[in-house]
Amino acid sequence: MQAQQVMPLINEDEYLEMEQQAKFRHEYVDGYIYAMTGGSRAHNKISGNLYAALHQQIKGSPCDVYMNDVKLKIAHKHSYYYPDLMLGCSRDETDAYFLTQPCLVIEVLSPSTARTDRREKLIAYQSIASLREYFLVSQRKYQVERYHRADEAGLWHLTVYEKGDQVQFSCIDYQLGMDEIYAGILDG
């Protein structure tokens, strides 16, 4: 999704109350709220392809996959984001509207959000102890960037996937072909 307009400083309780009534979604970063705009058809198809594949893979497991409308709360950063997709496997999650312990997060890149996804969100998401993987998915070409926690020391590594590759989702021990991610978008 695309962040657009910055609104006045508010506290978390005001944000959560406002968000329950809002017609449009907003992300919250340390007192500032950012209105979210709609994504492109390609953005929606890529998100849908990923959701369908991950949802099918986790059937019967303790994991759940969420698309677009469930917030990710990063308490120590006083932030709430709406990832395009996230997967959580913790049964300690009790809030109906947000997760705090996802094992993977996926953002489909848009021209207006790519910088935020690569910088602010990368840093914020990597601070989540439960997070093992953060994916950035291009809409314009066969490219998926996978940031993954590689060892107990918490070091992160980057793997870039291109056309013909199998994308590794170690959080759920799964591989998905790039052609499946981009089915109906970049055919040919």
% of residues, the chain, pLDDT over 70: 95
Lowest average pLDDT, out of 25-34, 117-126, 154-163, 178-187, goes to 25-34
- Distance in angstroms (rounded) separating the CA atoms of residues 51 and 71: 16
- Distance in angstroms (rounded) separating the CA atoms of residues 133 and 104: 5
Record the tokens describing residue 185, joined without a space: 């978008």
Structure-model confidence comparison of residues 113 and 156, the more confident one: 156
**What architecture (CATH level 2) is domain 40-65+82-181?**
Alpha-Beta Complex (3.90)
Q: Render pLDDT for 9-36 as a digit per residue (tens, 0 to 9).
A: 888 888 888 888 888 888 888 888 888 8
Record the tokens describing residue 87, joined without a space: 């997967």
Burial level of 152, CB count in 10 A (0-12/13-18/19+)? exposed
Q: What is the pLDDT of residue 7?
A: 58
Spatial CA neighbour of 134 closest among 167, 165, 98, 97? 167
Reported as a pLDDT band with limits 50, 70 and 90, residue 167 is very high
Give Cα 75 distance to the centre of its chain: 17
Q: What is the pLDDT of residue 6?
A: 57
Cβ proximity of 114 and 84 under 8 Å: no
**Cα–Cα separations (whole angstroms), residue 148 to 10, 17, 56, 96, 133:** 33, 34, 22, 27, 4
Reported as a pLDDT band with limits 50, 70 and 90, residue 3 is low
The pTM of this model reads: 0.90
Query: Domain residue spans in the chain?
Result: 40-65+82-181
Q: Are strands 79-81 and 85-88 parallel, antiparallel or unpaired?
A: unpaired
Reported as a pLDDT band with limits 50, 70 and 90, residue 5 is low
Average pLDDT over residues 89-103: 92
Record the tokens describing residue 141, joined without a space: 């070409």
Reported as a pLDDT band with limits 50, 70 and 90, residue 71 is very high
Q: What is the pLDDT of residue 117?
A: 94
**Cα–Cα separations (whole angstroms), residue 146 to 8, 80, 122, 156:** 34, 22, 11, 10
Q: Rounded to the nearest 5°, which phi and psi values hold at 174?
A: -145, 145
Average pLDDT over residues 126-138: 96
Rg of the chain over all Cα atoms, to the nearest angstrom: 16
Which amino acid is residue 96, in one-letter code? A
Q: Write the DSSP assignment of 1-51 as a string of letters.
A: -EEEEEE----HHHHHHHHHH-SS-EEEETTEEEEEEPPPHHHHHHHHHHH
152: pLDDT strictly greater than 80: no
Record the tokens describing residue 28, joined without a space: 């919250």
